[in-house]
Amino acid sequence: MMCDILKTGVVASNSIVQKHQSISVSMDVMRMTNSQATQTTQAATAILAESSVRELRNLRVDHSANDLRLTGRVRSFYHKQLAQEAIRQVAGGMQVVNRVDVSS
């Protein structure tokens, strides 16, 4: 009986270690190099710079780890959403964090 409990504990422990290793590998694959993140940031900035909406041209895009941060100020929630969706197309595996302020 005690042997079965120990075997079950070892199997559960091995399973947890394997899941942790799998998650670690997945996270490593998802991480972008700094160069890739910089290129993505530049592409997102270019998209906003070429926008027909003047307010979007003044927004700023920065990167941090696996995030693309969008900051600045616009006059409507529609423009905030428009900017977010415009850069999402080049974000790749990066999460878009929209910190744009809306003020009228």
Q: For position 25, what pLDDT does the model report?
A: 46
User: Quick one: pLDDT at residue 92?
Assistant: 87
Q: Is the pTM of this model over 0.75?
A: no
**17: helix, coil or strand?**
helix
pLDDT means per 10 residues, the chain with 104 residues, are 51 53 50 81 95 96 91 97 95 93 91
Distances (CA, A) of 49 to 27, 40, 87, 103: 32, 14, 11, 21
**Domain ranges, ordered by start, for the chain:** 1-30, 34-102
Q: What's the CATH class of domain 34-102? A: alpha beta
Residue 3: what pLDDT?
Answer: 55
Q: What share of the chain is helix, strand, coil (3-state, %, to 5)?
A: 60, 20, 20
Q: What's the pLDDT at 29?
A: 45
The pLDDT, as a whole number, for residue 10 is 47
